[in-house]
């Protein structure tokens, strides 16, 4: 038993210290969901995927804005309202809500599209897409800003309220069952006593009638 417990502890420690990305290379350590803040910067560079890890091979680079903008396309150096594509090495898309007519229009899927050869020496080109989600899944507490308590404040509140309501319902049910059980037998005794009294009264009346008829 002791050896099994020791083996379990060692296995748990190994799992905790190991990197999940080594065992699961398909997991991207860079999260594609971005909070919708006052100013946002999205990069067209990604160290793990071609050609976004070497944008010099891209022959055409464009940013595709979300659906509320009718999927507007912006090239490096272009700007529109609060959107601007910088002409830097990462072709960063800068978003500024303060100069927008409809700030909520920034929420949605952003795509950096790059036209590049499928290999180093290939003459065949293909479009590659790098996606970012801005302001998505806001109903998920983990996507909110702040500390753990601030993120899960509403969830904790709903849990406490639900627990209190359940306790109140249970207490009321217990009180109802208690008094109903306590008063039930007394009511049955009263009914039995009333039945016996009624039967005795009827029997006495019957004897009186028989006696009177005998006298006559």
Give yes or no for a contact between 116 and 59, defined as CB atoms under 8 angstroms apart: yes
Quote the pLDDT of residue 35. 85
Domain ranges (residues) in the chain: 23-136, 140-181
Quote the pLDDT of residue 209. 47
172: left (phi over 0), alpha (psi -120 to 50) or beta: alpha
CA distance 173 to 52: 64
Quote the pLDDT of residue 216. 42
Give yes or no for a contact between 36 and 68, defined as CB atoms under 8 angstroms apart: no
Quote the pLDDT of residue 204. 52
Could you list the mean pLDDT of each consecutive 10-residue stretch along the chain, which spans 216 residues? 48 43 52 87 92 92 93 94 92 94 88 91 90 80 60 67 86 79 52 52 50 45
Instruction: Tell me the fold of 23-136.
Output: Immunoglobulin-like (2.60.40)
Six token digits for residue 65: 């804005």
Give yes or no for a contact between 66 and 106, defined as CB atoms under 8 angstroms apart: yes
Quote the pLDDT of residue 116. 94
CA 88 to chain centre: 37
Quote the pLDDT of residue 16. 39
pLDDT, one tens digit per residue, over 142-179 is: 556 666 665 566 666 777 788 888 888 988 888 887 77
């Amino acid at each position: 038993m002791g050896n099994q417990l020791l083996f379990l502890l060692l296995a748990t420690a190994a799992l905790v210290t190991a990197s999940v990305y080594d065992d699961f290379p398909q997991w991207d350590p860079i999260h594609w969901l971005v909070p919708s803040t006052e100013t946002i910067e999205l990069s067209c560079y990604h160290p793990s995927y071609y050609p976004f890890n070497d944008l010099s091979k891209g022959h055409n680079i464009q940013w595709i804005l979300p659906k509320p903008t009718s999927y507007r396309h912006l090239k490096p150096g272009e700007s529109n309202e609060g959107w601007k594509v910088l002409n830097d090495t990462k072709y960063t898309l800068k978003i500024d809500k303060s100069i927008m007519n409809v700030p909520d229009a920034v929420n949605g899927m952003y795509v950096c599209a790059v036209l590049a050869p499928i290999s180093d020496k290939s003459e065949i080109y293909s479009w590659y897409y790098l996606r970012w989600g801005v302001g998505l899944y806001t109903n998920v507490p983990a996507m909110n800003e702040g500390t753990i308590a601030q993120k899960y404040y509403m969830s904790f509140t709903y849990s406490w309220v639900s627990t209190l309501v359940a306790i109140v319902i249970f207490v009321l049910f217990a009180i109802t069952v208690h008094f109903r059980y306590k008063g039930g037998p007394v009511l049955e005794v009263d009914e039995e006593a009333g039945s016996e009294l009624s039967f005795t009264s009827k029997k006495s009346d019957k004897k009186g009638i028989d006696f009177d008829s005998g006298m006559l």
